[in-house]
A and B are shown apart, each in its own frame.
Chain A
Amino acid sequence: MQPYLNVLQYYPFLLKGLMFTIEISLIGMVFGTVIGIVSALALLSPFRAVRWLGILYLDVFRSTPVLVQFIWVYYALPVVSGLSLTPIVAASIVLSLYSGSFHTETFRAGILSIGRGQHEAAQALGMRSYKVMFRIILPQATVRMLPTYAGTLITLIKDSALASTISVPELLHQGSTVASYTMSPLAALMVVGVMYFGLTYPVSRGVDALHARLRV
């Protein structure tokens, strides 16, 4: 018990880490969603060049490890671009682009799952194409995409732990530090594990509930 009590003395330190984890996850969620919508629309665009850009983005971010994306943006990008990024900015960029690549597939599949008839009916009523998309297609697609979308949020929270490798003081980073201070790695990392679980488990229960409710 003693190691755990020692670890818990550092609770303000761990809570600070938890706040950073929540912060970068939220940033990743908001920007990732926007990026996902834009690139899903790009993939469905009538212009070939736009579609290719979308495919390029998707393939790059889905065929490299997130860890490598973190390392590349933080250590390699500043060398060529000349602008040095703070760890938090670098982490936010990576988490947004990375989760955006998952959302892209989700949104595209969701949009395509709405039958052509809906499209044609709305156009027959004289609606403009952006209006068809935002008033008719997306609201219906949203419901179907919700479980997959929420699933990506769990992945996002978990992968935000990789920001520790570029020294963002988030939960895992703080936990590793406490592990060294207290010299009880098991206790410190277990406490961190419980904190992550407290964050992700409710979301994952929500995903299951959504799946069950939306099953047709």
Chain B
Amino acid sequence: MYHWDWSVIVQFWPLFVAGLIKTVEVVTLTMATALVTGLLVAIARTSKHVVLRQLARWYIEVFRNVPLLLQLYIMYRATPLDSFWAGYVALTLNLTAFLAEVYRSGLTSIGKGQWEGAQSLGMKEGHVLRRIIIPQAVRRVVPPLGTFWVSLFRDSAMVAYIGVAELTHAALQVSIQTYRPFEAFTALAVAYMVLTYPQARLVAWLHEKFRVEE
């Protein structure tokens, strides 16, 4: 019979807390950057210039279809970046590709008729964008952005394997130092559940609130 010893979790509590702070740091920095870069790639993807459009298209295809862990390894092992910056850059490049598609489908889902209708009322282009297009696009873009925030929070665990001292890394350290893998990894799983579940509920609520009736 196995004897639990949860005291190791208490003993290494500061390590877990430091790991969590690092996780939040990586995730917020990545999201903040990708919100902007994703929009830029989406604009390129819908641009009139063929070269720009194709570049954006292949960027999106490649980064969405290759495992994130591989992208992290390339950034860490084949560039001079240290583990934190390699993790941040790789996560950002990856998320940018996904967010670009979110923005693009948000923008293209607003029918041409909306533009034409507003312009025929004599509204200027900038005015149409600000008053007609963007408010409608926000309803379609915000809920999926929330979904990607939650998956980023979970996926950020992978940066542990390039040596970023975040939450998962902390649990791996505790497991090695105490020979208590069960306690360390169960605590880790529970920590992620407790942290992710409320976020996921919030996103579900956003989806409900911004539901678009077609």
Contact = CB atoms under 8 A, between A and B. Distances in A.
A204 B62 CA distance: 11
B69 interface: yes
Interface string A173-197: 0011001000001100110110011
Interface string B127-159: 000000000000000000000000000111110
Interface residues of B, number: 37
Contacts of B168: 65, 67-68, 71
Interface in B110-129: none
A155 to B, nearest CB: 10
A208 to B, nearest CB: 10
A158 B185 CA distance: 23
Contacts of B189: 64, 68-69, 72
Interface stretch (B31-39, B42-50, B73-81): B73-81
B65 interface: yes
Nearest to A60: B193
A23 interface: no
Nearest to A199: B65
B85 interface: no
A3 B102 CA distance: 37
B70 A189 contact: yes
A69 B156 CA distance: 14
Does more than half of chain B's interface fall in helix, strand or loop, or is it mixed?
helix
B82 interface: no
Interface in A66-100: 66-69, 71-72, 75-76, 79-80
Contacts of A197: 62, 65-66
Interface string A154-165: 100011111011
Task: Give the residue among A79, A80, A175, A176 with the most B Cβ atoms within 10 A.
Answer: A79
A66 B62 CA distance: 22
Chain A interface residue number, banded = 35 or more
A63 B200 contact: yes
Contacts of A148: none
Contacts of A59: 193, 197
Nearest to B71: A193
B192 interface: yes
Contact of B193 (A64, A160, A185, A186): A64
Interface in B61-108: 61-62, 64-70, 73-74, 77-78
26 contacts: A62-B200, A63-B154, A63-B192, A64-B189, A64-B193, A65-B154, A67-B157, A67-B158, A68-B157, A71-B171, A72-B186, A80-B182, A158-B67, A160-B67, A161-B67, A172-B69, A172-B70, A185-B78, A186-B74, A186-B77, A192-B70, A196-B65, A197-B65, A200-B65, A200-B66, A201-B61
Interface of B: 2, 61-62, 64-70, 73-74, 77-78, 154-158, 160-161, 168, 171-172, 175, 181-182, 184-186, 188-189, 192-193, 196-197, 200
4 tightest Cβ-Cβ pairs between the two chains A and B: A161-B67, A186-B78, A185-B77, A65-B157
